């Protein structure tokens, strides 16, 4: 579900369907399922939470 919301969602979908703690915890796996554009956008915006491999 997170992948769908990140790829197709809008701001109201992000706030309604995503939990920050869960997103941060599962980002290492989730980031591999996203395209480079989406991944880069989120990682640049929330760089303080991203642990890059």
Digit-coded pLDDT (tens) for 13-48: 888 999 989 999 999 999 999 999 999 999 999 888
For residue 52, what pLDDT is reported?
Answer: 63
Residue 53 scores a pLDDT above 70: no
- In angstroms, the CA 5 to CA 14 distance is 7
For residue 18, what pLDDT is reported?
Answer: 92
- In angstroms, the CA 43 to CA 6 distance is 12
- In angstroms, the CA 52 to CA 29 distance is 11
Domain enclosing residue 28, as ranges: 2-49
Please count the structural domains in the chain: 1
Residue 50 scores a pLDDT above 80: no
Nearest 5°: CA angle at 8, between 7 and 12? 110
């Amino acid at each position: 579900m997170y992948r769908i919301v990140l790829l197709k969602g809008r701001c109201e979908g992000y706030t309604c369907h995503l939990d920050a703690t869960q997103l941060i915890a599962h980002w290492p796996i989730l980031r591999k399922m996203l395209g480079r554009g989406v991944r880069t956008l989120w990682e640049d915006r929330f760089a303080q939470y991203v642990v890059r491999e």
